[in-house]
């Protein structure tokens, strides 16, 4: 007897999958499909240990009140706990104006694709009992969500991605500094960006993250049109993050453009490899399982 299986969302066209529901729903489908394809899971247990006391504040859960301290010292003190997780991870997401772009043949912007990656990666790590945090940035740091391992924390991450963004520049260096500080012990930093950034400031931030002992992965998000320049024959090419505009005929510059893009990609690959940073180019027409697998490789490299 022949059986039929539901298609795995992590292997389907990303634009079609993204159109089927909200980000949270799609992320669950993608992660469920991805986990079906894993041969093994590094999932380990975690424990919660007492860390310190702090003064009671209205609204605190009374279950964590230390009544012995109250009786002995007449002080209302709450126990704080430290989550002992497999590891801590920080995801750094570029939400600058250049990310909110798609080619004529692409059904999803770079930012929509990147946000779906972040949603899926964070959910997958939380399922591994890892603590996950998020830094969003454009011309300023927009969101800083410290790592937590509780499943309910995922809703906070999803809410943060609905906050405003789209500034005209990419302050990735500052965002990476935040991420490095968020991960207090050696863990994971995953950067998701189109890398239309200041290379020197970015490299400085990545070096700082690596100096903290973190495994760093850069997912370079690109639209196929950016790689191939398969645009209208003539037009005015505008930099979305500055006032620069250049009139050009695509056929006249296409080959030089492709060589330049290939050179830039190779330069990023070499520079990042020199400091021990994993680098992956991801196109927005690739199934979500492709970047998810590349990002999760960092998780599997660590104990």
Q: What is the pTM of this model?
A: 0.80
36 phi/psi in degrees, rounded to 5: -60, -30
298 phi/psi in degrees, rounded to 5: -65, -40
Tell me how far apart the alpha carbons of residues 144 and 30 are, in angstroms, rounded to a whole number.
25
Task: Indicate the helix (H) or strand (E) that contains 115.
Answer: helix 110-127
Output 77 or 154, whichever has higher pLDDT.
Answer: 154
Does the structure show a pLDDT above 50 at 280?
A: yes
Tell me how far apart the alpha carbons of residues 64 and 66 are, in angstroms, rounded to a whole number.
6
Tell me how far apart the alpha carbons of residues 215 and 186 are, in angstroms, rounded to a whole number.
8
CA dist 264 to 68, 94, 170, 255, Å? 63, 19, 17, 14
Neighbours of 226 (CB within 10 A): 22
Q: Tell me whether strands 131-137 and 141-148 are parallel, antiparallel or unpaired.
A: antiparallel
Query: Domains plus CATH for the chain?
Result: 9-40+86-301 (3.40.50.410), 47-83 (no CATH)
Q: What's the count of helices (H) and strands (E) in the chain, helices before strands? A: 10, 10
Q: How high does pLDDT run on average in the chain?
A: 83
Least confident range from 6-20, 95-109, 170-184, 286-300: namely: 170-184
Q: How do residues 214-238 score in pLDDT, each as one tens digit?
A: 999 999 999 998 888 776 666 666 6
Tell me how far apart the alpha carbons of residues 303 and 298 are, in angstroms, rounded to a whole number.
10
Tell me how far apart the alpha carbons of residues 134 and 123 are, in angstroms, rounded to a whole number.
12
* Residue showing tokens 């800083």: 144
Query: 20 and 108 in contact (C-beta within 8 Å)?
Result: no
DSSP state for residue 8 in the 8-state scheme = P
Least confident range from 11-15, 170-174, 261-265: namely: 170-174
pLDDT value, residue 80 = 55
pLDDT value, residue 246 = 73
* Residue showing tokens 């890892």: 130
Least confident range from 35-44, 51-60, 132-141, 291-300: namely: 35-44
299 CB burial (10 A radius; 0-12, 13-18, 19+): buried
Q: How do residues 1-42 score in pLDDT, each as one tens digit?
A: 444 566 889 999 999 999 999 999 999 999 999 988 775 444
Task: Indicate the helix (H) or strand (E) that contains 279.
Answer: strand 278-283
Tell me how far apart the alpha carbons of residues 56 and 38 are, in angstroms, rounded to a whole number.
45
pLDDT value, residue 13 = 94
Tell me how far apart the alpha carbons of residues 85 and 135 are, in angstroms, rounded to a whole number.
20
Tell me how far apart the alpha carbons of residues 194 and 131 are, in angstroms, rounded to a whole number.
25
* Residue showing tokens 């209302």: 76
Query: 29 and 119 in contact (C-beta within 8 Å)?
Result: no
Confidence of residue 60 (pLDDT cuts 50, 70, 90): low
Least confident range from 85-94, 116-125, 279-288: namely: 85-94
pLDDT value, residue 224 = 92
Least confident range from 4-18, 56-70, 276-290: namely: 56-70
């Amino acid at each position: 007897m022949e059986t039929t299986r539901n298609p795995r969302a992590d292997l389907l066209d990303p634009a079609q999958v993204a159109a089927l529901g909200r980000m949270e729903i799609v992320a669950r489908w993608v992660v469920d499909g991805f986990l079906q394809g894993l041969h093994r899971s590094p999932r380990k247990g975690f424990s919660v240990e007492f860390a310190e006391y702090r003064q009671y504040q209205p609204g605190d859960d009374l279950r964590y009140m230390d009544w012995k301290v109250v009786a002995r010292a007449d002080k209302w003190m709450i126990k704080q706990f430290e989550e002992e997780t497999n590891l801590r991870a920080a995801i750094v997401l570029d939400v600058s104006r250049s990310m909110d772009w798609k080619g004529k043949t692409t059904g999803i912007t770079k930012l929509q694709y990147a946000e779906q990656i972040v949603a899926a990666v964070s959910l997958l790590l939380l399922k591994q009992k890892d603590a996950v945090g998020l830094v969003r940035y454009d011309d300023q740091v927009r969101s800083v969500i410290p790592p937590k391992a509780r499943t309910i924390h995922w809703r906070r991450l999803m809410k943060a991605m609905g906050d405003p963004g789209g500034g005209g520049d990419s302050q990735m260096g500052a965002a990476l500094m935040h991420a490095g500080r968020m991960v207090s012990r050696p863990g994971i930093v995953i950067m998701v960006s189109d890398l239309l950034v200041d290379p020197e400031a970015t490299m400085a931030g990545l070096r700082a993250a690596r100096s903290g002992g973190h495994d760093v992965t850069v997912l370079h998000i690109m639209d196929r049109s950016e790689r191939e320049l398969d645009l209208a024959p003539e037009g005015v090419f505008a930099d979305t993050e500055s006032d620069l505009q250049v009139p050009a005929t695509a056929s006249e510059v296409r080959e030089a453009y492709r060589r330049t893009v290939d050179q830039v990609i190779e330069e990023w690959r070499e520079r990042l490899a020199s400091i021990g940073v994993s680098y992956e180019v991801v196109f927005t027409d690739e199934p979500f399982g492709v970047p998810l697998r590349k990002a999760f490789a960092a998780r599997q490299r660590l104990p």
